[in-house]
């Protein structure tokens, strides 16, 4: 496996830490800090746009390093592998959860989030604000699930 594999795993962990850390920063630090601010909506919008860029860099990095890690470990991309052994089944679940997270994140970032900000700017705390909030929460839970499965697979727990 060698140095290239170690670098790929290191980058994979950094991208995951950035992604999950950013998702935790928004509701735990930013939102409570700007709750009473007159510029709350503008700050949320600007921060969301900035995180969106770096978040997608992290997600693409996770995808690339994840594929490299699979290659370096000799994991085949075949239906038989994903169906016939426990490791492959759990890896398949992790990959499906990642794909679902990407899909939800895309809708959240490029449609629902923008529309929710527009509604809030118009003084309407409509349904899209709650959908945006819940899609973020679901993605955070998916992120935790993916990270847990990744740790379990890498440490031989599954």
Count of structural domains within the chain = 1
Task: Name the percent of the chain lying above pLDDT 90.
Answer: 73
More confident residue, 27 or 141: 141
The rounded Cα 53 to chain-centroid distance in angstroms is 13
Mean pLDDT confidence for 43-61: 94
pLDDT the model gives residue 86 = 93
Question: Where residue 119 falls among pLDDT bands split at 50, 70, 90?
Answer: confident
Residue 130 has pLDDT above 90, yes or no: no
Residue 108 has pLDDT above 80, yes or no: yes
Domain that holds residue 144: 2-154
Rounded Cα distance, 135 and 54, in Å = 18
More confident residue, 55 or 133: 55
pLDDT the model gives residue 93 = 97
Residue 50 has pLDDT above 80, yes or no: yes
DSSP, collapsed to helix, strand or coil, labels residue 1 as: coil
**Model pLDDT for residues 1-38, shown as the tens digit of each residue:** 699 999 999 999 999 999 999 999 998 999 999 988 88
How many other β-carbons are positioned within 10 Å of the β-carbon of residue 90? 17
Residues ≥6 apart with Cβ < 8 Å to 129: 116, 119, 120
Mean pLDDT confidence for 104-132: 86
Rounded Cα distance, 106 and 92, in Å = 21
């Amino acid at each position: 496996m060698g140095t290239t594999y170690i670098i790929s795993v290191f980058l994979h962990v950094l991208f995951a830490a950035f992604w999950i850390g950013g998702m935790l920063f928004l509701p735990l630090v930013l939102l409570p800090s700007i709750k009473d601010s007159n510029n709350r909506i503008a700050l949320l919008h600007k921060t969301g746009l900035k995180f969106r860029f770096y978040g997608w860099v992290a997600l693409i990095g996770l995808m690339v390093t994840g594929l490299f890690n699979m290659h370096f470990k000799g994991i085949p991309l075949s239906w038989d592998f994903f169906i016939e052994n426990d490791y492959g089944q759990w890896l398949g679940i992790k990959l499906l959860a990642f794909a679902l997270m990407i899909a939800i994140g895309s809708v959240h970032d490029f449609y629902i989030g923008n529309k929710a900000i527009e509604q809030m700017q118009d003084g309407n705390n409509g349904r899209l604000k709650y959908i945006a909030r819940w899609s973020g929460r679901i993605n955070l839970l998916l992120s935790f699930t993916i990270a847990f499965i990744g740790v379990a697979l890498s440490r031989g727990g599954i």
